[in-house]
Structure 1
Amino acid sequence: MLNYWRSAAAVHYLVECCYGGDVMKVFSKYEEWHENGRQQPLTEYFGVEAF
């Protein structure tokens, strides 16, 4: 249950706080991370390690 809460909180933070409610911007950043060879963990790339 804790992991579910943490992931939901991270997604909420990304969509609502970082990208102004635009989920497509989040997907675009994910695609950028993927296309650039996943150089760092995704949580680090998005800055949500603390969640």
Structure 2
Amino acid sequence: MGYKIQPLRGYLFEKKPSPFVSFVSSLYESRLEAKITGNDAMAYGYKRLMNSL
């Protein structure tokens, strides 16, 4: 359509490592353990925690 957009202001962000890597890893391991033992309620709880993060 030929439009040209010129930003007026903006932010520059630096890529940094996530502070939650170890937290999510431990939640995932706990979820797998709960699934293996057949504790579906806890597996679902761990899944919800990971998704809400």
Coarse TM-score class (shorter-chain normalised): 0.3 to 0.5
Q: Which has the larger radius of gyration?
A: 2
Q: Which structure carries more relative contact order (alpha carbon 8 Å, separation 6+)?
A: 1
User: Under a length normalisation based on structure 1, what TM-score does the superposition of the two structures give?
Assistant: 0.36
More helix by share: 1
